[in-house]
Amino acid sequence: MNYLSKITTTRTPWLLLALSALGLELTALFFQYSMDLAPCIMCVYQRLAILAIVIAGIIGAAGHNNIIARVTAFSLWGTGAIWGGLIALEHIEMQSNSGSLFFSCEFIPNFPTWAPLHEWLPFLFEATGDCGEISWQFLGFSMPQWMLVIYAFYSIAFAVILLNRLVIAKKP
């Protein structure tokens, strides 16, 4: 238990977090540009959640000895993992109800006016696909279903390490 508590005070675990999420971002770009799979608005939001995890890992690695940096990194990690999971769940629901009259998918991301990421980085955040279309499957699962599994792993790791850190830190 002490090991899990102290793991966040070293650089390597944070770098592994950043590299794993960066690998997912690069995989998304491979799917988009090599396999010609157009990302939908939900895919774009999931990319942003993964980017939050990348940034969390970088901040954690750079400031692993600084409590403010670690709190910031934990906040971004948790936000990215949990928000990404919720977006993936919503995306799965959209795909399963794509024939419904209540199905709707925006084409322009709803980013704040002060940060129009789809205009600044269109290669990464521009939505050109349909949320209801299932254009790729692996072992019978669609991309948002796989992303839900990935976000679940990130969320579980976040919860276990954070709770362990808080419990060990409170012990005298």
Question: Is-contact 152 89, C-beta < 8 A?
Answer: no
Write down the catalytic residue from 11, 47, 70, 165: 47
Residue type at position 136: W
Exactly one of 11, 40, 70, 165 is catalytic; name it: 40
Q: What is the DSSP string of 139-169?
A: TTEEHHHHHHHHHHHHHHHHHHHHHHHHHHH
Does the annotation count 11 as an active-site position? Answer: no
Catalytic residue among 11, 70, 105, 165: 105
Please indicate whether residue 43 is annotated as part of the active site: yes
Token pair 């992303």 is found at: 147
- Tell me how far apart the alpha carbons of residues 108 and 124 are, in angstroms, rounded to a whole number: 13
Q: Is 105 a catalytic residue?
A: yes
> 54: number of CA atoms within 13 Å, CB side?
13
The two tokens of residue 25 are 């971002």
Q: Catalytic site residue 70?
A: no
Amino acid at 82: I
**Token pair recorded at residue 107:** 């084409």
Residue 120 φ/ψ, nearest 5 degrees: -75, -45
With CA atoms as reference, report the closest residue to 87 among 129, 148, 28: 148
Q: Which residues are catalytic?
A: 40, 43, 47, 105, 131
